[in-house]
Amino acid sequence: MIAAFHTELKKMRRRHFPLLMLCLYGFLFLWCAMDFRNVDDAARASGYFSMLYSLPTINTVVFPLFLAVLASRIWDTEHKGNTLKLLCTLEKRGNIFFAKSLIGTLLFAVTACFECLLILFFGKKLAFTQPLPVTHLISFFVTTFLTGTCIYLFQEILSFFFDNQIIPLALGLIGSFFGLFSLFFSETFAQFVIWSYFCQLATVHINWDPAARTVSYLESPLSTGHLLVILILLVLAGIIGTALFERKDV
């Protein structure tokens, strides 16, 4: 297993993963910078809640496509070089799938950490007067990581199943739009859309007063029901992905 992981690390060279990550981080930074281009005292008083509310929405749009690209790049070497059969003769299939899953999971963990650091950076740079909501920040990291990892595993299954990577990438793009638009429907409908769980598991929500035309932020406990669903899907994705790759004809 360690050998398979080490092999995957070597294959990441010249695959432009740093460029992919930097493009994503740059986009997130610019989005947050534009969101806080005009900051007054009222915005500083709820600055952390504002970011903890807006980032899950951005993640719902950006991360499904990013994870589709990430999974595609990780499996693309085997498809283009037609080396999967050779790889399976040198290493157990379960170890190969685990190593590739671990690579993607670690890269996404770095991304989730970056978003938390982004919140801390803007809080310091713009002098937020709101006390740092540590519990909400930890919840944001955990739920973002779990949801993204679950989506990545499903995208990984598609990436090794289809030689043509246009199909997994298209489904990732569809997931981005489907996850966002599902939030405009009933909560019952949205809970069946895995891409919406970045927002479903958020612990900060918005309250719009149309009469006063003011926005306030509401705290809510972490939805244990949605958390249980994403954990079950995460386990199922790992089991199903391993089983399908074990039976894949190479």
Q: pTM of the entire structure?
A: 0.92
pLDDT value, residue 35: 85
Angle at 63 (CA atoms; ends 61, 68), nearest 5 degrees: 115
Residue 213 clears pLDDT 70, i.e. is over it: no
Residue 3 clears pLDDT 80, i.e. is over it: no
pLDDT digits (tens, 9 = 90+) for 34-59: 988 888 888 888 899 999 999 999 99
pLDDT value, residue 58: 93
Residue spans of beta strands (DSSP E) within the chain: 204-209, 214-219
Least confident range of 2-11, 109-118, 160-169, 190-199: 2-11
CB atoms within 10 A of CB 56: 25
Residue 153 clears pLDDT 70, i.e. is over it: yes
Q: Judging by beta carbons within 10 Å of its beta carbon (0-12, 13-18, 19+), is residue 85 exposed, middle or buried?
A: exposed
What is the SS3 assignment for 204?
strand
Residue 212 clears pLDDT 70, i.e. is over it: no
pLDDT value, residue 24: 94
CA 3 to chain centre: 27
